[in-house]
Amino acid sequence: MEAGAIRPGYELWRPNREKAESKSARALVVFLLLVTAALTLVIIIGGWSRLEGGKVFALLYVALFVLFAYLVARWSRGVLPVISALAIILAIFAGIAAPAWFDRSKPGLSGPALPDDLLGLLCLLLVPLQVILIAVAMVAFNQNWHVEEERPIGDEPPPVDPPRRSGGGRTSSRRGSTRSTRSRSRTTATRRPKKA
């Protein structure tokens, strides 16, 4: 059989994707990505007339976060580090932009479509949101969604073994007796007869 081929009568499955913590981490990453994209879009549209540059770059960011949400929903693990890297950059930009929006909230300055204070507040909200997104994305990355195993077609996942008791059972006494006989045989085998 060649490498990567599946044996007849078997199928590939990914056991880590069936865990409850993996499903919840995936759902949380998708939710945070969509909330980030929506907040960023509101800031872009609300302050469009006063944005000096980078409008296309900001819209590209929104499109990327929506695309990443779609990919994570389809169990793509490879985009999670990229999401974390882009979230760091977005948190830096949002942290720098928030004071600038608050500084514009003065009489005599023409305002954008949304109030300057609201745009500054939305930028401040983006910072902790990106920190949470980074943490959840890294937890999801460590859950190994990509691990594949073979199982017979139509077979259920194997049940989890119950924890073994540490004392008093027959199996433990048998194991202990075999270990003790092995250790005895090793000690007798290493002893050499003394020369007279």
Rounded to an integer, what distance in angstroms lies between the CA atom of residue 9 and that of residue 23? 28
Contacts (Cβ under 8 Å, ≥6 apart) of 132:
32
pLDDT for the residue numbered 101: 84
Q: What is the pLDDT of residue 147?
A: 73
Q: Are 132 and 96 in contact (CB under 8 A)?
A: no
CA distances to 30, 49, 162 from 74, in Å = 10, 37, 32
* Per-residue pLDDT, 158: 56
Q: Return the pLDDT at 9.
A: 62
For residue 16, what is the DSSP state? G
Q: What is the pLDDT of residue 157?
A: 58
Report which of 112, 26, 41, 116 is spatially closest to residue 72, judged by C-alpha positions.
26
Buried b (16+ CB within 10 A) or exposed e, 113-131: ebebebbbebbbbbeebbe
Q: Residue 15: name the closest of 180, 150, 139 by CA.
A: 150
Cα-trace Rg, the chain? 29
pLDDT score, position 17: 82
What average pLDDT values come out for the chain (196 residues) when binned by 10 residues? Answer: 59 77 95 97 89 83 96 94 96 92 74 85 96 96 80 62 58 46 46 53
Token pair listed for 18: 């069936």
